Amino acid sequence: MQANIQTDAIDAKILTALGEDGRRSYAEVGADVGLSTAAVHERVKKMLERGVIRRFSISVDPHTVGLNFTAFVAIRNDGGAHCRDIAPRLRELPSVQELHSVAGEYDLLAKVRTPHARDLEAVLLQIKAIPGVARTTSTVVLNTEFEDQPLRLPGA
Amino acid sequence: MQANIQTDAIDAKILTALGEDGRRSYAEVGADVGLSTAAVHERVKKMLERGVIRRFSISVDPHTVGLNFTAFVAIRNDGGAHCRDIAPRLRELPSVQELHSVAGEYDLLAKVRTPHARDLEAVLLQIKAIPGVARTTSTVVLNTEFEDQPLRLPGA
DNA sequence: AATGAAAAGTAATTCCA
DNA sequence: TGGAATTACTTTTCATT
């Protein structure tokens, strides 16, 4: 019993195909999944409407655009502070690429990317300046083994 | 002095435009950045060749395809084990979406996504079965505030 | 929902500056 | 390296099943 699944096996195949190459034509995708061009078009349109596909995009290698440093910053709140007050402030920081509220010793976990390790200090100062943030602990990434992999869905 | 930057300000604008909508036509992007269709085409082609753009893709909402649970799993190696031996094994696990070698108490940090919280147990067993893995600590994601944001580059 | 075919729009190619 | 024009392809729409 899995909730929220809004796709069937054909949709999964389409998502996998477009995840590998978002510019493949509907005709080509259709040949792969056994559907006409128009049918693929219709399904993609509906998946966009339902929010299954958030957007078409590109995968960019961070190092090639000067983002050479990555760290995970765990954030603990003050007693009264709520994640929902702090999260919007963290979203404003361009170095914070990803934010999750988490269970455990810390309340939030941020993925931070900067040009250089030395830039983390300034980001931490910005984070600590947000009302409700009590303390942070940073885990420095030495090497990203893999990330941003094309989506792989079972049954696709 | 920033190393590895392979893009100029116009490339940055192109990457930002395609990061927001990977299907915008080259003509449209060209109008935005002040270049002809062919010039944009040429620059995109070169960025693909240089590996700046890894691929065209789509952003999919994990919940809509049944991936409702996320956790970060920190992994510690045995004394003699190397990340480069363990990483390929973790890549084989479809639930492991992202893997970084990190500094600190643990050696690797994996982002794991499964249909349900209960599925984490099986993934942890698979991870612990990899030779060289000594122990793991999991941080459960309660809510993803944001992730998968369109790329924003300074000067774009 | 899916198909096939026509119309509209876009991209790749070629060549010129 | 960038722009213009041609050719080829892809998307989109629509009538039909």
pTM for the model stands at 0.95
Gap between the terminal Cα atoms of chain A: 19
The answer as to whether A116 is a domain residue is yes
Q: Is A73 left (phi over 0), alpha (psi -120 to 50) or beta?
A: beta
Alpha-carbon span A97 to A129, nearest angstrom: 18
Q: What's the CATH code of the domain at A126?
A: 3.30.70.920
Question: Residue B38, exposed/middle/buried by CB under 10 A (0-12, 13-18, 19+)?
Answer: exposed
The answer as to whether A90 is a domain residue is yes
Range of the domain at A93: 62-140
From A138, A125, A13, select the one nearest B104 (Cα to Cα): A138
> Are A83 and A111 contained in the same domain?
yes
Q: Is the CB of B98 under 7 A from strand D?
A: no
Protein CB footprint (7 Å) on chain C nucleotides? 1-5, 9-14
Number of domains in chain B: 2
CA of A28 to C1' of C4 (A): 16
The answer as to whether A154 is a domain residue is no
> Are A36 and A74 contained in the same domain?
no
pLDDT, tens digit, 9 for 90 and up, residues B106-132: 999 999 999 999 999 999 999 999 999
The answer as to whether A148 is a domain residue is no
Query: CB-based contact (8 Å) between B120 and chain A?
Result: no
The answer as to whether B146 is a domain residue is no
pLDDT beyond 60 at A140: yes
CA of B97 to C1' of C14 (A): 43
Query: CB-based contact (8 Å) between A109 and chain B?
Result: yes
pLDDT, tens digit, 9 for 90 and up, residues A60-72: 999 999 999 999 9
Q: What's the CATH code of the domain at A33?
A: 1.10.10.10
